Amino acid sequence: MPRPLAVICLAAGLGKRTKVSLPKVLLPLCGRSLAANALQSVAPLQPSRVLLVVHHQKEKVEAAVRAEVDGVFNDLRFVDQGDPRGTGHAVSVAMAALGDFDGDVLVTYGDCPLITTATLEQLRELKGDLPCSLLTGYPDDPAGYGRILRDDDGEFAGIREDRDCSDEERAIDEINAGIYCFDAAALRSALEQLDTDNDQGELYLTDAAMWLAQSQRVATLEVEDGSEIQGVNTLADLAVARIVMQERILEHHLHNGVLITDPGTTWIDHDVEIGADTTILPCTVIGKGCRIGSHCEVGPFSHLRAGTVLEDGAEIGNFVEAKKTRVGAGTKAKHLTYLGDTVIGKKANIGAGTITANYDGVHKHQTTIGDGAFVGSGSVLVAPSTLGNGAMTGAGAIVVRGSEIPENEVWVGIPARRLKVRGEGS
């Protein structure tokens, strides 16, 4: 039976360098916050306990993260670090909250969103029966990172923080990524040895690994893709992280049979489902939570927002925006259209310039459009309203709030009124 796993995710930082009021770990990245991205990477490891160490705007962080990862973990807790006194202090606070937990403890960061599950799995496997394993890397510029110290046999001997390095140590190009897997009992012992004898006067978690290495072997794993260990400290870092994360998301959909004609201008969030044989055309934005069937076409210049569902064969085209809308199989909305809080049946046609006016200034309302309906160009459908199966509106029609157009009837004008039954003579 595998050892129990606890995860400690450090997310208490102030994030001054972002220069925004939002807590750094809540900055958005492809439909998730930084913290939620970091936590989602550990979810497949099925940890028995997950602790997020917080402090700055802790209530806001807790509320947001809980909402994002609701149902993902069986035991998610938030621990206030109090006055932050370094990574060693943060982990000590978390370990106190873990009580007598016995197993492996994985330490990650809420501002390190690109770490992958596969790397974390390797790190844990490498640890095995050892007291600790840690992740290292070779960035193009190691300045600012702690350097990995090794003995004459090449074994891990310690970590020296950049500001505490000698000139010789600063020339080392292998850095500490800051992600560890500890044996819980070994970690408790090591944390008791920490002191503040360093340039920042803080308790360094790095010293815990170094103390363990004095009597036992500590294993290191070099990360294959250096982007995984890139933290986000500035909005420029966030922009770079988005490029990397977006590439991963697009590769996932391409691998699953989605034709993305220009990945460079296509933006797709996490938690989007797209069926095989669907085509995504350039300059398209698809938000978190959208569901798109197979043999659909989206774009160019389309925006699908949260809650939008396209059934098989649906087509959303140039400058069309859909929000919380279901588009039936084979239905087309090809040009200059806004569909908000709308349910559309199968094989309907939504003409250019159509607006479903869902907001009355206070509340949102739904528009229902039946199978085979034909909405004329420039129509405005004021919600709540209903177009029955096969119903039609003439170009420029204004369907007022509360209207119910029966099946196969044609309504025209301002406000729209019944003209005839569809298919009858004029």
Tens-digit pLDDT profile for residues 322-352: 999 999 999 999 999 999 999 999 999 999 9
Residue that finishes a domain, picked among 229, 262, 289: 229
Active site includes 270?
no
Catalytic residue (one of 56, 252, 335, 365): 335
Could you report how far apart the first and last alpha carbons of the chain are, in Å? 78
What is the reported pLDDT for 397?
A: 98
CA distance 27 to 20: 9
**Domain match, 208 and 315 both:** no
Residue 245 lies in a domain: no
- Return the CATH number at 112: 3.90.550.10
**Domain match, 81 and 169 both:** yes
**Domain match, 208 and 278 both:** no
Q: Has residue 143 got a pLDDT over 90?
A: no
- Higher pLDDT pick, 422 / 369: 369
Please choose, from the candidates 111, 93, 94, the residue with its C-alpha nearest in 3D space to the C-alpha of residue 18: 111
What is the reported pLDDT for 15?
A: 85
Residue that finishes a domain, picked among 169, 194, 229: 229
Residue 135 lies in a domain: yes
Residue 239 lies in a domain: no
**Domain match, 98 and 207 both:** yes
Residue 114 lies in a domain: yes
Residue 296 lies in a domain: yes
What value does the mean pLDDT take over residues 37-45? 97
- Higher pLDDT pick, 79 / 200: 79
CA distance 407 to 414: 20
Handedness of CA 125, 129, 134, 137 (dihedral sign): negative
Residue 259 is part of which domain span?
250-421
The structure tokens listed for 206 are 């790095």
How confident is residue 425, by pLDDT bands cut at 50, 70 and 90?
A: low
What is the average pLDDT value for the chain, to the nearest integer? Answer: 96
Three-class DSSP labels, the chain:
CCCCEEEEEECCCCCHHHCCCCCHHHCEECCEEHHHHHHHHHHHHCCCEEEEEECCCHHHHHHHHHHHCCCCCCCEEEEECCCCCCHHHHHHHHHHHHCCCCCEEEEEECCCCCCCHHHHHHHHHHHCCCCEEEEEECCCCCCCCCEEEECCCCCEEEEECHHHCCHHHHCCCCEEEEEEEEEHHHHHHHHCCCCCCCCCCCCCCHHHHHHHHCCCCCEEEECCCHHHHCCCCCHHHHHHHHHHHHHHHHHHHHHCCCEECCHHHEEECCCCEECCCCEECCCEEECCCCEECCCCEECCCCEECCCCEECCCCEEEEEEEEECCEECCCCEEEEEEEEECEEECCCCEECCCCEEECECCCCECCEEECCCCEECCCCEEECCEEECCCCEECCCCEECCCCEECCCEEEECCCCEEEEECCCCC
How confident is residue 199, by pLDDT bands cut at 50, 70 and 90?
A: confident
- Number of independent structural domains in the chain: 2
CA distance 238 to 233: 8
CA distance 316 to 324: 14
Residue 244 lies in a domain: no
Residue 234 lies in a domain: no
- Name 148's bridge partners: 159
**Domain match, 74 and 144 both:** yes
Question: In this predicted model, what pLDDT tens digit does every residue of 112-128 receive, in sequence order?
Answer: 999 999 999 999 999 99
Task: Calculate ∠ Cα 192-160-215, nearest 5°.
Answer: 50
The structure tokens listed for 390 are 């096969």
CA distance 324 to 343: 9
**Domain match, 42 and 151 both:** yes
Q: Has residue 320 got a pLDDT over 70?
A: yes
**Domain match, 131 and 268 both:** no
Q: Are strands 32-33 and 28-29 parallel, antiparallel or unpaired?
A: antiparallel
**Domain match, 296 and 167 both:** no
What value does the mean pLDDT take over residues 194-206? 87
**Domain match, 205 and 298 both:** no
What value does the mean pLDDT take over residues 161-170? 90
What is the reported pLDDT for 84?
A: 86
Report the residue count for the chain. 426
- Return the CATH number at 403: 2.160.10.10
CB atoms within 10 A of CB 202: 18
Question: In this predicted model, what pLDDT tens digit does every residue of 258-280 receive, in sequence order?
Answer: 999 999 999 999 999 999 999 99
The alpha-carbon radius of gyration of the chain (Å, integer) is 28
What value does the mean pLDDT take over residues 380-388? 98
**Domain match, 314 and 273 both:** yes
What is the reported pLDDT for 303?
A: 98
CA distance 252 to 272: 11
Residue 103 lies in a domain: yes
Please choose, from the candidates 366, 294, 304, the residue with its C-alpha nearest in 3D space to the C-alpha of residue 333: 304
**Domain match, 259 and 189 both:** no
**Domain match, 257 and 204 both:** no
**CB-CB contact of 181 with 105 (8 Å):** yes
Question: In this predicted model, what pLDDT tens digit does every residue of 82-99 receive, in sequence order?
Answer: 988 999 999 999 999 999
Residue that finishes a domain, picked among 182, 198, 229: 229
CA distance 277 to 297: 9
Q: Has residue 1 got a pLDDT over 70?
A: no
What amino acid is encoded at 153 in this protein?
D
What is the reported pLDDT for 13?
A: 85
What is the reported pLDDT for 426?
A: 60
